[in-house]
Amino acid sequence: MAYQETTTRSYGQRVGSSFKGIGGGFILFCIGTALLWWNEGRAVKTDKMLNEAEKVAVEMESVNKINPEYDGELIHASAVATTQDSLVDKEYGLGERAIGLQRTVEYYQWVEHASSESHDKLGGKQETVTTYTYTMEWVSRPVQSSTFHDPAYQQKNYVLTTAENATQWAENVTFGAYKLNESQIHSIRSMEPVVVSLADNQLKAWDKACRDIHIRYNGPLPVAAQQVVQNVVNTVVGDSTLAAIPDSVKTIVPDSVPQENKKDYDFVHQAGNILYFGQSPTSPQVGDVRITFEKVVPAMITIMAKVSGDTFKSYKAKNGKTFSVVRMGKQDMDEIFESEHSQNHLFLWILRILGVILVITGLKGIFDILSTVLKVVPFVANIVGWGVGVVCTVVGIVWSLIIIAIAWLFYRPIIGIILLAIAAFLIWVFAFKGKDKLKELARKRDLQPETQQV
């Protein structure tokens, strides 16, 4: 059942918050303006850098031996990235010859969700009803239930064990006769599962520790329930055909899990690349912990970078922007540049939209005081608030266009002039057309008494 809290803010508190909001709104307005200006310059510089790189890039047919002719050149090449380094997860005793070794930890926890609904009252007060709901979810870190608003859920969360996410990378990764630099190594994403195979004594020790924690929070396990669980596990593991076992039980041992590494205890389960702390991996309970192990294996990659001896570094364009690319599999040079241009333009529009939103939000924060002082009469305040919102939105868009246009005047004057013209047109429509509309409405209002007399 949902838990609700009701809070009330007085008229004076709301007016005080609006005055504080003026400062916050001004900061957002300035941040949005600066973001719009910086973003336009970034996009133009990136486009120029990509165009320059496209002109000077050369195809490297073979990376099987060091070729001094390519030293200092921006090259495009495809080959298998591989390593002889061995990586070890000392905490769990796993070792692999791999480019990378990754441990991902998840916790099954109660999570709090909040939704609020506010209502204005006569006299300027505001009543806010906040509803809190709770769901069990897999999360990346333990959730402190002591901070939950519902007292019934404040002691719900605990964990059977704790661990940290961890990623290791090989130091020596070769690309033919060349060595990849650290940034290139970290860009490889050829993930495969690592089969977990831990010693029985370690699993038993963890099982006992988890059992003790479970009992501390939930009380002793029923003896009959423990026996049923053990019988089901023994039956499933002992019968390779699974013919006489219901489908609901077969899910405990999925066909894709290698049977040679599968081990089950009451509170610890090892299967495939997963180490599970809890009573049942197929029916998680609060406190359960799931650890997944993966490795980055040798794979075909395509790179674009500047050759520097027997390794690579980023290409630096004349405008100072740098360029280095790693793609999984084989990709043509044209495909890479097309993709990079598309990403740049997408990022340009994302930041433009974000900048406009910040500008409009900042203006609304500055002028929100106009509607707040009228909150003693909610109906009037709502009308004024709507008008303030419309004006701030229009002014924010026009201001953003002006900033973008001025920025483009420095980089691409023709487009900048076009944008300034659009902004001027919007100002004319909003200011002069709006004034004409008001005059027309006033004239119609003056004519109404004469019509009624006739």
- H or E stretch at 46: helix 11-56
Evaluate if residue 48 carries a pLDDT over 90: yes
Find all residues with CB under 8 Å of 442, minimum gap 6, and list them: none
- Better-scored residue on pLDDT, 219 or 380: 219
Evaluate if residue 166 carries a pLDDT over 50: yes
Find all residues with CB under 8 Å of 432, minimum gap 6, and list them: none
Q: Would you say 269 and 284 are in contact if contact means Cβ atoms under 8 Å apart?
A: no
Confidence of residue 440 (pLDDT cuts 50, 70, 90): low
- Would the CA dihedral through 50, 51, 54, 57 be positive or negative? negative
Q: Say which residue the tokens 């053990």 belong to.
A: 230
Q: Would you say 40 and 401 are in contact if contact means Cβ atoms under 8 Å apart?
A: no
Evaluate if residue 186 carries a pLDDT over 60: yes
Beta strands at 299-308 and 268-271: parallel, antiparallel or unpaired: unpaired
Q: Would you say 103 and 291 are in contact if contact means Cβ atoms under 8 Å apart?
A: yes
Evaluate if residue 108 carries a pLDDT over 60: yes
The alpha-helical segments, DSSP class H, found in 285-373 are 333-372
Q: What is the pLDDT of residue 416?
A: 66
Q: What is the pLDDT of residue 232?
A: 43
What is the per-residue pLDDT across 308-337, written as a single tens digit (0 to 9) for each?
999 999 999 999 999 999 999 999 999 999
Find all residues with CB under 8 Å of 352, minimum gap 6, and list them: 36, 39, 400, 404
Q: What is the pLDDT of residue 421?
A: 78
Percent with pLDDT over 70 in the chain: 84
Distances (CA, A) of 102 to 111, 170, 402, 415: 26, 12, 48, 48
Residue 261: other Cβ atoms inside 10 A: 14
The total number of residues shown for the chain amounts to 454
Beta bridge partners of 191: 296
- Would the CA dihedral through 368, 374, 378, 380 be positive or negative? negative
Q: Would you say 380 and 340 are in contact if contact means Cβ atoms under 8 Å apart?
A: no
Statement: the pTM of the whole predicted model exceeds 0.85: no
Q: What is the pLDDT of residue 246?
A: 39
Confidence of residue 454 (pLDDT cuts 50, 70, 90): very low
Confidence of residue 1 (pLDDT cuts 50, 70, 90): low
Q: Would you say 352 and 35 are in contact if contact means Cβ atoms under 8 Å apart?
A: no
CA angle 431, 409, 56 (to 5 degrees): 145
CA distance 148 to 113: 10
Confidence of residue 204 (pLDDT cuts 50, 70, 90): very high
Evaluate if residue 448 carries a pLDDT over 70: no
Q: Would you say 51 and 317 are in contact if contact means Cβ atoms under 8 Å apart?
A: no
DSSP states along 339-357: HHHHHHHHHHHHHHHHHHH
Beta bridge partners of 264: 269
- Better-scored residue on pLDDT, 200 or 224: 200
What is the per-residue pLDDT across 259-318, written as a single tens digit (0 to 9) for each?
557 899 999 999 999 999 999 999 999 999 999 999 999 999 999 999 999 999 999 999
Q: What is the pLDDT of residue 453?
A: 46
Distances (CA, A) of 118 to 8, 59, 114, 160, 390: 9, 63, 13, 40, 21
Find all residues with CB under 8 Å of 334, minimum gap 6, and list them: none
Q: Would you say 262 and 270 are in contact if contact means Cβ atoms under 8 Å apart?
A: yes
What's phi and psi for 313, nearest 5 deg? -145, 170
Mean pLDDT to the nearest integer, 107-132: 91
The alpha-helical segments, DSSP class H, found in 219-326 are 223-238, 247-250
What is the per-residue pLDDT across 213-268, written as a single tens digit (0 to 9) for each?
999 999 887 765 555 445 544 544 444 333 333 343 333 344 454 555 789 999 99
Find all residues with CB under 8 Å of 336, minimum gap 6, and list them: 76, 302, 304, 325, 327
Mean pLDDT to the nearest integer, 358-365: 95
Q: What is the pLDDT of residue 193?
A: 96
Evaluate if residue 47 carries a pLDDT over 90: yes
Beta strands at 173-175 and 166-169: parallel, antiparallel or unpaired: unpaired
Q: What is the pLDDT of residue 254?
A: 43
Beta strands at 289-296 and 274-277: parallel, antiparallel or unpaired: antiparallel
Evaluate if residue 135 carries a pLDDT over 70: yes
